[in-house]
A and B are shown apart, each in its own frame.
Chain A
Amino acid sequence: MSATVVGQSSAKPSEPKNYLNADHTLKSWLLSVDHKRIGVMYLIAVTFFFFIGSIAAAMIRYELTSPKGILLSSEVYNKTFSAHGILMVFQFLVVVVPAVLGNFLIPIMIGARDMAYPRLNLLSLYMFITGGFLILASFVLGGVDAGWTFYVPLSTISETQISLCLVGIFITGFSSIFTAVNFIGTIHKMRAPGMTWYRLPLFIWSHYATAIVVILGTPVVAITLFLVVVERGFGFGIFSPELGGDPVLFQHLFWFYSHPAVYIMILPAFGIISEIISCFSRRPIFGYRFVAYSSLSIAFLGFLVWGHHMFLSSQSVLQGIIFSLISFILAVPSAVKVFNWTLTMVKGSVHFSTPMLYALGFMGLFVIGGLTGLYLASVDTDVHLTGTYFIVAHFHYVMVGGTILAYLGGIHFWWPKMFGRTYSEFWGRLSAMIIFIGFNLTFFPQFMVGYLGMPRRYHYYYFAPEWQFYHLLSTAGSTVLGFGFLLPALYLTYSLFKGKKAGPNPWNAKGLEWEYTSSPPITENFTQPILVTDSVYDYNPAEDSKMYEVDEEATVEDMNK
């Protein structure tokens, strides 16, 4: 990106002071309103919740190696998969990319000193942690057995700690809303002079689209879940038919948020992939405007497809067909993105770095995840597949294969910027490949066993022992996957202390965060105000590649001399 530092001819190289070592007291971290410190605290928090959620996932996988279960009772099994779903969805996937990378990068990418509402940002972190600990408390005090979807009347008659858990999710939901308000305010009002909308990195576009979805959707689910608490606590008849309520109304309200929530999880991931593909192809993204607008159209259409979760829930056939049609149309902007990323490599100078391997893995898995979504958008094929492991496999391809791979790619991409140190490329590439293989081994068999009819959330399947083969494959894969997730935790932590100094721009990437800040950035991000004068992504692939070309003839001549 071309930009100049106003009033000074060149940016000073990184000063010894940066946001990490500006102040060392605990208080300076816990009460920091610096978006970078908040991002780092989010990183620690989401990693913690991811760890707990992963343990629950491992328990599920090992329990399913036998058709009759091995260790858990059905009650504990139900609480385990509920804990896995609730933690992973509400405490990890929805927040992970915006809260960690979005918080850290958005102000820097647009040339701002901080978020528009720094204190709101800190409040949102503490609401997130409060919500998370209330949810964990509900697990410790007896657990939750209704699954992360909390379908009534099961969740109203269940005698587990659902009310406490829902209050936790309610609070976490408001944390998301505050973050989204902050993003929209920041992106609208805090851009540096010259940073026009079409000069914004695509990372910003996708976070902007995400923030809109969060603001429109999250209040609906928050109040819906709160109504369940009211119904449980005071017996108000809202959803339970015994009290005069309508259980299908709950599903409408719940999916009105929870389908867009899928886009809340995946849109920021799209932003990361656009950045990584562009950087490691050393050329501008292909079809910038189409990629930017596809994010917005996904955000818009995402609100009109919630009924495809309810084809069989007693909504009318006509409703089902309309929701199915819109769901099919929604496939188009997703396809556009994948094609544009692919074409971005044309005439590029592709470098297979760790972030790029994660991004390429993302593209492959997202294609499978997206296309298997068509089986479920298709109203007739959904009949046999909904409620089975096919759905489980599909959304894990999108959520794990999509969001988590993109997140890990983004963490590896911006890690030198965040902490000023580089990690081992060898271990990075190895982890990307282990995760890719382990992931496919875990979830591909689930497509097959789902098509054979294995319902999700089943503890036992002794009535069909032939399904055990697929579950064994899946559990074996999940072991590899878990090991793959553990690797980055180890070598990234190691790099914090022993990693080589990264320097301000180790990838030779474009963008304000690489070209005009030190690694790690100083608390104010930029030493001087920024004036943006040219578009983003002004890479030169031919020049870049030339540096690495081995000119055989020249080498021979050199040797002859």
Chain B
Amino acid sequence: MGWGIFQYNPIPDQASAHAAKYDALFWTISILTVVFTLFVVLLILFYAIKYRRGTKVDRRNPMTHHNGLEALMMGVPLILALGIFGWSAKQFVEVRAMPKDAMEVFCIGKQWMWHFQHMNGIRENNELHVPVGQPVKLTMISQDVIHAMYLPEMRAQYHVVPGRYTELAFTPTKPGRYKILCAMHCGTQHSEMVGQLYVMDDREWGEWLEKGGNKYKDKPLNMVEAGAQVWKDKGCGNCHTGLDNPRAPSLVGILGKTRTMTDGTTAVADRDYLREAIKIPHNRITAGWENTMPVYGSTLTETQVLELVEFIKSLSVSKGEFQRTDMAGSTAASDGDSTAVDISNKGSSAGNAQFRSSEER
């Protein structure tokens, strides 16, 4: 349980460009209110005590009217009121003028949730992500009853009305998580029509956009990207480089090629063949190489195999990503020189390759 004023700031966060200006006006009115209230209350107490029944004070000729005094009593409050009015009206015009460079976000209010749609297609429910420093304009409409988009830390509010579009602009200035509230009674779960406004710095905003607005998990990878990840994880590139080498054949453009095996049979390197070559490589060894590849039958899932195959399909010589830098200078058997097997590497091929790759990671 919070102990209010002793623990929390009695002023809500100032998180928008308008908030500081708003609070300046708010506290000016507050000071006038306190001064005026104290003045009246003290005056009442002073007169009530001074002229209480039985005190010996001059009570002759009590004044019953005084036009000058009345004019003063009307004039001073009027001038103060008009001053506050002018200040307030000026700020209201500013805050209701929609900035031209604003990032537009569409907002649909419905019982009892906020739905946001960004221009780039990202949709959000009860959450709104915006970059810091960028004016944001919400173009809003309600699907059922009247709601009110209320962002207390932005000092911003406007009604969300069915049948017409309304607009609300604010410029967040402080990264953080803020409240989105509905301030117009809208039915049973009115008090649960709340959400979060995330104001993010440029880096977070960039990442958020990158992830397509999904902050809970990494950006979804496509098959090739996922395959590349497996390729990297398992260190396939330690042996399978862009060119055939003594340790392993190159896999560039392998799909669809006819491969000759050590027992003389041939096989078309289709998806099935590649799956077998990954999961049980010793079953059929390509002619010219030793049985050095580790068995991945139980370490890779079927999904990972599919992804890996897709990645292999995407390989091309020009892509440097799967080439080992330490092999880059080697001349390693230019074109299927199958005879030149590096025997010295035999003992360390499988285990070492994997061990080394995990080190590199």
Contacts and interface: CB of A to CB of B under 8 A. Distances in A.
Interface of A: 74-75, 78, 145-147, 149, 151, 153-154, 157-158, 241-242, 246-248, 281-290, 311-314, 317, 320-321, 324-325, 328-329, 331-332, 335-336, 338-340, 342-343, 345-352, 360, 363-364, 367-368, 371-372, 374-375, 378-381, 383-384, 386-388, 448, 451-453, 455-461, 463-470, 473, 541-542, 544-545, 548-550
Contacts of A470: 4
Contacts of B56: 549
A545 B57 CA distance: 9
B70 A336 contact: yes
B19 to A, nearest CB: 9
Nearest to A378: B88
Contact of A541 (B62, B187, B189, B191): B62
Contacts of B88: 324, 378-381
B274 interface: no
Contacts of A288: 64-65
Given A378-B25, A383-B92, 8 more contacts: A74-B188, A151-B184, A242-B163, A348-B62, A374-B29, A380-B87, A469-B1, A544-B53
Contacts of B70: 287, 290, 336, 340
B36 to A, nearest CB: 6
A56 to B, nearest CB: 16
Given A241-B162, A372-B33, A378-B25, A153 B146 contact: yes
Given A328-B84, A339-B73, A371-B33, A453 B161 contact: no
B78 interface: yes
Contacts of A387: 148, 150, 157, 183-184
Contacts of A466: 2, 4, 7-8
A347 B65 contact: no
Contacts of A465: 1-2
B65 A74 contact: no
B93 interface: yes
B174 to A, nearest CB: 16
Contacts of B85: 324-325, 328, 378
- 6 A-B pairs with least C-beta separation: A241-B163, A469-B4, A453-B152, A387-B183, A466-B2, A548-B54
A281 B47 CA distance: 10
B78 A332 contact: yes
Contacts of A154: 145-146, 185-187
B5, B78, B89 pick with most chain A CB within 10 angstroms: B89
Interface of B: 1-5, 7-8, 10-12, 22, 25-26, 29, 32-33, 36-37, 40-41, 43-44, 47-49, 51-66, 69-70, 73-74, 77-78, 81-82, 84-85, 87-89, 91-93, 95-96, 144-146, 148, 150, 152-153, 155-159, 161-164, 166, 179, 181-192, 194
Contacts of B8: 466
B148 A347 contact: no
Contact of A74 (B36, B166, B191): B191
Contact of A284 (B3, B64, B82, B185): B64
A343 B152 CA distance: 41
Contacts of A350: 47-49, 51-53
Given A158-B187, A328-B85, A380-B22, A346 B62 contact: yes
Contacts of A336: 70, 73-74
B48 A360 contact: yes
A448 B5 contact: yes
A491 B47 CA distance: 31
Nearest to A391: B183
Contacts of A313: 146, 159, 161
29 contacts: A74-B188, A153-B146, A153-B162, A241-B161, A241-B164, A242-B163, A246-B163, A312-B158, A325-B89, A331-B81, A342-B43, A348-B51, A348-B62, A349-B53, A350-B47, A350-B48, A380-B91, A380-B92, A381-B29, A387-B150, A387-B183, A451-B10, A455-B191, A457-B185, A459-B191, A468-B4, A470-B4, A542-B60, A549-B56
